[in-house]
Structure 1
Amino acid sequence: MSIETYADALAFIHGRPRVKKQPTLARMRDFLAALGHPEAGQTYLHVTGTNGKGSVVAMSAAMLAASGLTVGTFTSPFITRFNERIAINDQPISDADLVKYTQQVAPIVAAMDATRPEGGPLEFEVDLAIAFLYFQAQAPDVVILEVGIGGRWDYTNVIDPVAAAIVTVGYDHMALLGSTLTEIATHKAGIIKPHRPVVVGQLPAEAMAVVEQTAQQLASPLLRLGQEFHARSGQPGALFGQLQFQGPDMSSLTAALGLAGEYQVQNAAVAVQLVTTYLTAQHLPIDPRALKTGLAQVQWPGRLEVVNDEPLILLDGAHNLPGVQALVQTLQTDLADREIYLLVGILADKQAELMLGELASLKNVHLYLTHFAGPSQQRPSADLAGLMSDIPTRYPVHQAPDWQTGLYEISQTMSANEIILITGSLYFVSEVRNFLKD
């Protein structure tokens, strides 16, 4: 196909197959070799986790930018526009550059389609190759790569980072990663590289054992939340928390957080340790004021994001069971005194019944269940109505044929000091956010 416009570029990218064909990085490495290895010569940080990895990337990038560095980021999924996935100092790649680098990868993709029995690069591989070409041209000081799924066989795992982070390990993507925490953690621990430090959040014991064993085998320094570095909330019960941090590279830091939610205190601790580990390894100064500025100013759309003040409307992309459990903890800690109207849409391939059970356990929640488009025909929105029959709730559960109807019904029912929270999927939150932000 001819790629002349931004729309052409997106059509080419989204037209690539999405399904992982086999657990191998060989095709990605061949793809990069054919492009002249644009990933070489960059300085990287690598971040994985069942939840929280996007927030850790955002906070780490903000702190490093506030420290005077240019910071590339590669993240997924996007919330408003595809370009957000590839950015430098929070500025997305331009439409013109996206077209330029899509044009550059297209003939290589076509050649690999024609010569490889399993076919050419998948959509995520194309996204990543475009990012590498962009970062090669822009030459930021550091690039932070967010893992797509897992770690060991994720296509981002073709780099040798200065340091890596494993934020959380929980149950998600079990069809690809396995049904036990040991199996899932084995995939996540696959990003640990020999002699490179790895920063680890609070993991279940079963998962931590895998990470510790992998780090020991690779002689990789291990920095664990609660052991080598410490964090606590300085303002329990506040929607926007305060981090109190202690670590090996910085004796103490107290910082206000720009991202809402109790769970962001632990994410922020992992980000601070990752950043200070990087700065120390690169023999760069650690400026606590810059770290505090970055943590206070960071924005990450769709993560307990305030999109309206009166009434208070929050968007949270909790899209799996661990994410919903973290959200529930925040609601119990910070918003227990407010009535909350929850508008929920969940993808069919998630643990929807368990996620709904967690949300329904809250005494101050009114549940409105709905549908949304989903990212593709292969990944539709779940039909939530039939899942609630065995889940006890304090208030009647409402069904809305679409989220627009649900939002209208809530607005006609609630009072001014009550809260609307839209959650269940990043794709759902993205769809609603684009409507509310217009």
Structure 2
Amino acid sequence: MFHTYEEALNWIHARLRLGIKPGLKRMEWMMERLDHPEKKLKTVHIGGTNGKGSTVTFLRSILEEAGLRVGTFTSPYFEQFNERISINGFPMSNEELIKLTNLIKPLSEEFEETDLGAPTEFEVITAMSFYYFAHIQSVDIVLYEVGLGGRFDSTNIIEPMLSIITSIGLDHTSILGETHEKIAFEKAGIIKRNAPILTAVKQPEAYSVIEEKALEQDAPIYKLGEQFSIENHESIEKGERFTVRTAFQTIENIEISMYGQHQTENAALAVMAALLLKEDFAIDDAHFLSGLKKAYWPGRFEIVSHYPLIVLDGAHNEEGITTLVNELSRRYKDKKKRVIFAALGDKKLNKMIAKLDSIADSITFVDFDYPRAADAEQLFAISTGTDKRIQSDWKQAITEEFQLLNKEEMLIITGSLYFLSEVKPFVEKTL
């Protein structure tokens, strides 16, 4: 029995040692023991390589504006673990986490005596979320973000009202496969019978896999650029402005406060999803515009200071780094760019660092405390930059960069979202 938040959280985090165990049997077993809370929920399932969290945020914000009580299950957390299970953007309380942990722990112990083995951290948290939304805090709808892949992800026991696949990129290739087609096959595992599937996937070979799965499941498919599209896009001082045109309705003069063309795509997916959800919920034009304008998701090209100019961006894979580099080149051509970078060791580091080298006037590689984090020395050795250095203490690196920064320069702190979750509170305290 856990009595404190720290005890409960330590037990959950200790399960990281079990690693990743793709498969649904452990989840199905736990749901059976909990009388299937997942079947009591209306859900939307969001998968993809990049853009999941932003798409969840855009859709949540639209639905909130319509007066709905919206649950979200996301990962990783950014400032507080409880964020992973939230309602209308507010994390569950510490007391609720203790209650959920005490509920799941006996099941976990019983599980460890079976051939299936102990449930992982992600499986435990996912099970907690189902019970939470079904029995502790009632909601109108829950937006479930896929943890890894889709087909064998712990969240894939739900029967959603609709599913979204944001993008396909070559991430987690050791688990999901080395090609866009193989990764698309895993992501397409969230497509369910008769449930619409929305996607912004660009690669023809990946889209064809998704389309084939949709046909197999009799799932209506909506592809960005075909069944719905973005028009009149322009970047504005604090975000983007654009129109989303669909066969149902056109939403004009949308403004979002998140930066980049990729965010217009994530927002368009949310718009299309909300239009489909209008059959079940009362959503009008004002809810779209105000919800999208208010949507905020930390660590995604987030400008935490304008003077001096400091950007935090959780570009944690090759596609994310490419998007970051493109946006920096487009918006800040005349600024010298100082970069601080940390990453997980299981990423395609060569390509990520090469892209950063191409735009960085200086780059500092740092360590951070996480089981899969790459050593700063490893990152430094990969870089071909002419002005590069190692600083094992990331707090010292940031402090030094603050002191050096002048008005012709900008600082970009990027890499793993786990790294950024530690960085942001420090930066806000230091500025």
- Confirm or deny a common fold (TM above 0.5): yes
Matches within 5 A, 1:331-350: 331-350=328-347
RMSD: 1.6
SS of corresponding position for 1:291: helix
Q: Aligned to 2:133, which of 135, 138, 148?
A: 135
Structure 1 residues 135-179: Cα deviation after superposition (integer angstroms, max 9, x where no partner): 012121000000000000000000000000000000000111010
Structure 1 residues 294-314: Cα deviation after superposition (integer angstroms, max 9, x where no partner): 111111111111222321211
TM-score by length of 1: 0.93
Task: Quote the Cα distance in structure 2 between the aligned partners of 1:50 and 1:384.
Answer: 23
| 1:175 equivalent in structure 2 | 174
| 2:20 equivalent in structure 1 | 20
Question: Structure 1 residue 435 and structure 2 residue 430: aligned?
Answer: no
Displacement of 1:239: 5.4
Q: Aligned to 2:388, which of 397, 407, 411?
A: 397
Structure 1 residues 294-338: Cα deviation after superposition (integer angstroms, max 9, x where no partner): 111111111111222321211100100011111112112222232
Displacement of 1:119: 1.3
| 1:307 equivalent in structure 2 | 304
| 1:320 equivalent in structure 2 | 317
- Judge conservation of contact 2:233–2:241 (CA < 8 Å) in 1: yes
Task: Quote the Cα distance in structure 2 between the aligned partners of 1:161 and 1:88.
Answer: 18
Name the amino acid aligned to 1:118.
L
Q: Say which is worse superposed, 412-421 or 101-110, in terms of deviation.
A: 412-421
Name the amino acid aligned to 2:19.
V
SS of corresponding position for 2:72: strand
Question: Any unmatched runs of 5+ in structure 1?
Answer: none
Counting aligned pairs with the same residue, the percent is: 36
Task: Quote the Cα distance in structure 2 between the aligned partners of 1:374 and 1:232.
Answer: 43
| 2:403 equivalent in structure 1 | 412
Task: Quote the Cα distance in structure 2 between the aligned partners of 1:66 and 1:35.
Answer: 32
Question: Any unmatched runs of 5+ in structure 2?
Answer: none
SS of corresponding position for 1:39: helix
Task: Quote the Cα distance in structure 2 between the aligned partners of 1:290 and 1:78.
Answer: 27
Task: Quote the Cα distance in structure 1 between the aligned partners of 2:85 and 2:402.
Answer: 36
| 2:363 equivalent in structure 1 | 368
Displacement of 1:260: 2.1
- Judge conservation of contact 2:251–2:285 (CA < 8 Å) in 1: no
SS of corresponding position for 2:368: coil
- Judge conservation of contact 2:308–2:405 (CA < 8 Å) in 1: no
Displacement of 1:369: 2.5
- Judge conservation of contact 1:42–1:139 (CA < 8 Å) in 2: no
| 1:286 equivalent in structure 2 | 283
Displacement of 1:419: 1.5
CA 1:178/1:202 → structure 2, altered by over 3 Å: closer, same or farther? closer
Task: Quote the Cα distance in structure 2 between the aligned partners of 1:243 and 1:202.
Answer: 19
Report runs of 4+ in structure 1 exceeding 4 Å deviation.
378-382
| 1:296 equivalent in structure 2 | 293
Give the aligned length. 426
Name the amino acid aligned to 1:357.
A
- Judge conservation of contact 1:25–1:153 (CA < 8 Å) in 2: yes
Task: Quote the Cα distance in structure 1 between the aligned partners of 2:207 and 2:163.
Answer: 15
Name the amino acid aligned to 1:24.
G
